[in-house]
């Protein structure tokens, strides 16, 4: 069955159930918002998360829904347009009356919607790795903070003898802040400024010839060199292609990526990329029964036996299950009650352990380093022994290292300064 037909049947079944009950959607279903780009430069990554949410809603409805009501996914397309994210978020909350929103990929899109969620006191589940330096009462961060991805990736490469660092990123808040943290961390580890190269390119950047040539030259100083990539979206396709064109391999200059997973690799010839790395908290190749069941359900839902899974899908899965459990615990979809109920919720992750929602609205996650294989999958080459709790504020930035986040009462603060004993504000 084609994917669009599956989605139509899911929606029609919810509609039929509502009409039979003799009520409107608002009365007889619980709406959840899906706020992901289905067009534009980020569609390559975000469309999958929209499909993931449709599958999760469908599965939950088969279990009886939530609080005895069916769920209805309300899908909108902010089209990789950052101001449009805020407009669509407001529409979902005020017009569609959604109980919570699952969405955003880039940090600039999250920053765009943040004031809307705080003003209207709604809930956003954000499922993608990000730069930290934020903790909002209204946002639950189920992707990795820098201490759950970027720092462990650099530690791994240092253990492999890397001495020079090319930090390449897309020009927006996530790469810039992450690289600011990494620069401070590297210098604290004794790396000299001349051994750090930083470059930013626009979304959708396609001409990588001169930048890759600069990286290649940077790697000729007699020190082992690596690329740390915070390149996002469809710019990754020409970037990796140009690496191959210029003969850069994992043996000469390894690349570790924070935004490239199985979905992005499914559209690339991976043979020249074998051995390059990605740091995530989940890979499809993780072998356990729960992950196997998830992959099977995903491929059945999409009607594609070769459809891959990835880390932001797992983060969406975790966030959705946490929300369901918190709503059942609170006995209501009221955002204030659900926000309080979410702290301390623990649900299975897909790597064989559990994810817990911490008081700073970040979760516990294992950290995995994977090598790209010819089939577009990853072989795990490094893994933390247990889970790592996400830090909202970096220990390596002067403006952040004295801050903690704890949304439990009576503190209820996203940026409490332990030196001054004062809360600096709602989220920043």
Do residues 312 and 45 make contact, with C-beta atoms less than 8 angstroms apart?
yes
Q: What is the CB neighbour count within 10 angstroms for residue 69?
A: 17
Are residues 275 and 254 in contact, defined by beta-carbon separation less than 8 angstroms?
A: yes
Fold of domain 3-146+288-364: Rossmann fold (3.40.50)
Question: What pTM was computed for the model?
Answer: 0.88
Fold classification of 163-286+369-389 is Rossmann fold (3.40.50)
Whole-number Cα distances in Å, 418 to 113, 286, 362, 415, 421: 29, 39, 19, 9, 5
Average pLDDT over residues 74-87: 98
Length of the chain: 428
pLDDT at 27: 59
Give the span between the Cα atoms of 27 and 322, in whole angstroms.
23
The DSSP code for 92 is: I
Q: Nearest 5°: CA angle at 405, between 400 and 406?
A: 165
Q: What is the pLDDT of residues 333-379, one digit of tens each?
A: 999 999 999 999 999 999 999 999 999 999 999 999 999 999 999 99
Phi/psi for 285 (5° steps) reads: -70, -10
Same fold, 3-146+288-364 and 163-286+369-389: yes
Token representation of residue 26: 């608002």
Residue 31's H or E segment, with its range, is strand 29-35
Q: What confidence category does residue 234 fall into, taking pLDDT thresholds of 50, 70 and 90?
A: confident
**Burial (CB count within 10 angstroms: exposed 0-12, middle 13-18, buried 19+), residue 101:** buried
Pairing of strands 196-201, 164-170: parallel
State how far the Cα of 119 lies from the Cα of 19, in Å rounded to an integer: 33
The mean of the pLDDT values for the chain is 92
Give the Cα separation of 398 and 187 in Å (integer): 14
Domain boundaries, the chain: 3-146+288-364, 163-286+369-389
Return the minimum-mean-pLDDT range out of 169-178, 187-196, 229-238, 312-321: 229-238
Q: Are 402 and 415 in contact (CB under 8 A)?
A: no
| Other CB atoms within 10 Å distance of the CB of residue 38 | 17
Question: pLDDT tens digits, residue range 242-287?
Answer: 998 999 999 999 999 998 889 888 877 888 889 999 999 999 999 9
Mean pLDDT of 49-64: 98
Of the ranges 15-24, 183-192, 298-307, 363-372, which one carries the lowest mean pLDDT score?
15-24
Output Rg (C-alpha) for the chain, integer angstroms. 21
pLDDT recorded at residue 425: 60
């Amino acid at each position: 069955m084609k994917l669009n037909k599956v989605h139509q049947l899911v929606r029609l079944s919810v509609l039929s159930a509502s009409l039979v009950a003799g009520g409107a959607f608002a009365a007889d279903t619980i709406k959840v918002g899906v706020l992901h780009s289905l067009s534009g430069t980020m569609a390559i990554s975000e469309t999958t998360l929209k499909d993931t949410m449709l599958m999760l809603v469908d599965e939950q409805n088969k279990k009886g829904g939530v609080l005895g009501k069916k769920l209805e996914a309300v899908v909108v397309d902010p089209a990789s347009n950052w101001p449009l994210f805020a407009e669509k978020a407001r529409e979902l909350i005020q017009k569609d009356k959604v109980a919570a929103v699952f969405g955003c990929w880039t940090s600039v899109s999250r920053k765009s919607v943040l004031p809307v969620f705080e003003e209207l006191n709604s809930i956003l589940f954000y499922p993608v790795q990000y730069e930290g330096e934020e903790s909002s009462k209204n946002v639950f961060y189920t992707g990795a903070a820098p201490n759950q991805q970027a720092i462990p990736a650099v530690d791994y490469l240092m253990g492999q003898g890397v001495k020079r660092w090319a930090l390449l990123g897309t020009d927006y808040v996530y790469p810039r802040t992450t690289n600011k943290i990494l620069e401070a961390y590297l210098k604290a580890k004794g790396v000299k400024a001349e051994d750090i190269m930083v470059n930013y390119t626009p979304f959708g950047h396609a001409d990588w010839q001169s930048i890759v040539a600069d990286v290649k030259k940077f790697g000729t100083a007699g020190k082992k060199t690596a690329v740390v990539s915070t390149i996002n979206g469809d710019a990754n396709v020409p970037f990796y292609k140009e690496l191959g064109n210029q003969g850069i391999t994992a043996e000469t200059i390894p690349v570790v990526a924070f935004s490239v997973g199985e979905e992005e690799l499914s559209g690339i010839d991976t043979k020249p990329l074998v051995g390059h790395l990605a740091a995530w908290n989940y890979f499809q190749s993780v072998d356990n029964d729960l992950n196997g069941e998830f992959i099977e359900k995903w491929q059945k839902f999409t009607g594609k036996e070769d459809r891959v899974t990835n880390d932001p899908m797992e983060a969406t899965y975790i966030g959705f299950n946490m929300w369901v459990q918190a709503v059942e615990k609170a006995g209501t979809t009221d955002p204030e009650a659900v926000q309080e109920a979410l702290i301390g919720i623990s649900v299975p992750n897909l790597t064989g352990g559990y994810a817990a929602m911490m008081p700073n609205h970040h979760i516990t996650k294992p950290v995995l380093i994977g090598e790209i294989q010819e089939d577009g999958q990853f072989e795990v080459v490094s893994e933390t022994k247990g889970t790592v709790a996400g830090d909202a504020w970096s220990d390596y930035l002067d403006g952040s290292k004295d801050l903690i986040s704890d949304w439990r009462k009576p503190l209820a603060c996203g940026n409490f300064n332990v030196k001054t004993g004062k809360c600096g504000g709602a989220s920043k």
